[in-house]
Structures are given as structure tokens and as C-alpha cells.
Amino acid sequence: MQVVQVCQVLLSVSVAITTVSFTAGFKCAQCADIRYAKIMKNTIPDLKLNIGSLNLTSNRLCKSAQGVPVVECPQSSTSGSNVNRCVHYNGALDMTIKVGTSGEVNVLYEGTYRDCVLESISASGSCMDQITVLPDDNKLRAAALKTSPYNLSDYSVTAEFNGRKCVSDMKGMFQNVNKSPLIVAMTGCNILAIVVSYIISKVYF
């Protein structure tokens, strides 16, 4: 396990170094497919919310990203720890809307979301299951808020994602989506081993 962890660290460093020199932009799929939605709870009398009133986006091609709208992903900064990447969310989003002590509304969504997103360099080329509360500036959270017919800016909103999140590499490709962490780590080790061997051969032979 220690060897695998070392390989993963080295692979992350390699990705970070390569990314610094990468300046060209690329295209990302930009779409959403809400396959299921349900009002789990509504205890706010003045907030008349039901499934029929929600603005639900449904693009069945979003899961495969074939034949969907694309967006130009801006160039990443040549410095810093965050870079633009294509991101693919697939799973459930639990959104809770609270109005002081008046009550709350809980909406559950299931589906797929894709867009160009600012991500940590270390997340490049990754794909993992997660349960996480999305930050206020998250694009998936913003997309969920837009499904409401009401302006929710004055409400307390919590959005929790439970599913699989994949982040592309520096070329906008999801090469590691279907690979296990072990295969990804060993692939990185193989690449680094080749590079190190080449450098050694140049220095000592």
C-alpha cells in the first residue's frame, strides 16, 4: 500500500508540473440531465413548491456527453493551485432550503451534470465517489438553485452531493474514469520510471 501511495503522490506532482506549462484552452460538455426529482419535505406555508413548478432540465445525452452543447474552457493560469477542468457529476443532490424558524423544504435530485469548473491541480484526472456539502460558488449547486421558480438568494440553502465526481486531465479527457486507483497509480509509476531511466542514461552513459 505504501508503494501505491508514493506512486499516487509522484503522479500528482507530475500532473502539477505538466499543467504549469499548459496554456491552451479546450472544450467541455455543458449539460444537465435530472432523471428524478422529489419534494421530500415542505414545512414552509408560503413556499408553494411542487414537482410541477420546478424547472427541471432533462438531456438524456448528458451521461455519455455525445451530441450535447459544449463550452470553451478558459485558459488556466500558469501559476496557482487551481486550474480549469471538465467535470462530470453523476449521482444524487439533496438540497435543503431554510427560512429562519418558519420551516424548511427538502428536494432530492438524481442525475448527471457536466461543465467547465475551476478545480485543484491535484484533482486532475481523478474519478471518485464522494459525499460532500457543495460550497456556495459551486456550479452544480447553482444549477440546482435555478430549478426553483423562486429567488432563493434570501434563503439559507444547503446542497449535499452523494455520487461520483470525475475531473478531466489537462486536455479535457476523462482517461481514468473506468480505471481502478491501483491501475492509475501503477501507470503513473511506469511513466515516471521511464523518465527517470532516461535522465540517468543521459547523465551516466
DSSP letters of 85-109? EEEEEEEEEEEEEEETTTEEEEEEE
Within 10 angstroms of residue 106's Cβ, the number of other Cβ atoms is 16
Measured CA to CA, the distance from residue 60 to residue 50 in angstroms comes to 23
* Lowest mean pLDDT segment, chosen from 33-42, 70-79, 118-127, 174-183: 174-183
Q: Quick check: 84 and 172 in contact, CB under 8 A?
A: no
Q: Quick check: 138 and 111 in contact, CB under 8 A?
A: no
Of 76, 49, 60, 4, the C-alpha closest to 157 is 49
pLDDT beyond 70 at 46: yes
Q: Quick check: 32 and 89 in contact, CB under 8 A?
A: no
Q: Strand, helix or coil at 174?
A: coil
Within 10 angstroms of residue 105's Cβ, the number of other Cβ atoms is 22
pLDDT at 24: 55
Of 75, 67, 56, 55, the C-alpha closest to 29 is 67
pLDDT beyond 50 at 189: no
pLDDT beyond 90 at 14: no
Measured CA to CA, the distance from residue 86 to residue 26 in angstroms comes to 9
Q: What is the pTM of this model?
A: 0.71
Q: Quick check: 124 and 184 in contact, CB under 8 A?
A: no
Q: Give the CA dihedral 20, 22, 27, 32, nearest 10 degrees.
A: -10
* Predicted confidence band of residue 76 (pLDDT cuts 50, 70, 90): confident
